[in-house]
Amino acid sequence: MSHHTMLYRPAAGWLPALSVWIFSTVVHAAPAVAPPVPANAGPPDAGGLFSEAFFLKLGFSFMIGLAMGFALKVAFKIALLVMGLILLALFLLQYHGVIDVDWSGFEVHYDTWIDWLGAHAGVFFGFVGDNLTSAASFLAGLALGFKY
C-alpha cells in the first residue's frame, strides 16, 4: 500500500464518527417534548359557534344567502344526477347501435347554455348587491349554504 492510501483511511473513519457525534448532540440538545394535554380535552365543539343566536345576529341577508345556497346545492345535485343518467343512457344506446348521437351538436348547445347562465348569474348578483342590505353577509351565507 502506498503512503497516500494509509493517510486516507483514517480520515474516512472520522466522517461516520463525526456525523454520529453531531447527530447525537443535536438530538440531546433539543429533545422533542409534547405540550401537556388536559385529560378531558376532546375535539373542539362547533355547536357553540353555530348557535341560533349566532345566525340571528348575522341578519336577514345572511339567512337569505344560507337558504339559497342550500337550495342551489340540492338542485345542482339533482340536476347532475338526472343529466348523468340521461348521458349514460345515451352512451349505452349508441354503444348498442340503437341510436347515433351527434356529440358536436351537444357541445354547441352546452356552450350557448353556459354563456346564458354566466350572463344571468351576473345580473342576479348585481340585483342581490343592490337590494340586500349586506351583500357580503349574503355571499357568506351563500357559501355556507353550499358547504353544508
Any domain includes 115:
yes
Contact yes or no for 61/134 (Cβ under 8 A): yes
Classify 33 in phi/psi space as left (phi over 0), alpha (psi -120 to 50) or beta.
beta
Asked if residue 108 belongs to a domain, the reply is yes
Show the domain range for 97.
Answer: 52-147
**96 part of a folded domain:** yes
Give residue 106's pLDDT: 84
Within a domain: 133: yes
Q: Is residue 22 part of a domain?
A: no
Q: What is the pLDDT of residues 104-144, one digit of tens each?
A: 888 888 889 899 988 888 888 788 777 777 878 888 888 89
Residue 87 lies in a domain: yes
Tens digit of pLDDT for each residue in 15-72?
A: 555 555 555 555 455 555 656 656 665 555 555 556 666 666 778 888 888 899 999 9
- Total of domains in the chain: 1
Helix (H, G, I), strand (E, B) or coil at 80: helix
Question: pTM for the whole thing?
Answer: 0.53
The CA distances from residue 134 to 18, 28, 59, 64, 138, in Å, are 66, 57, 9, 11, 6
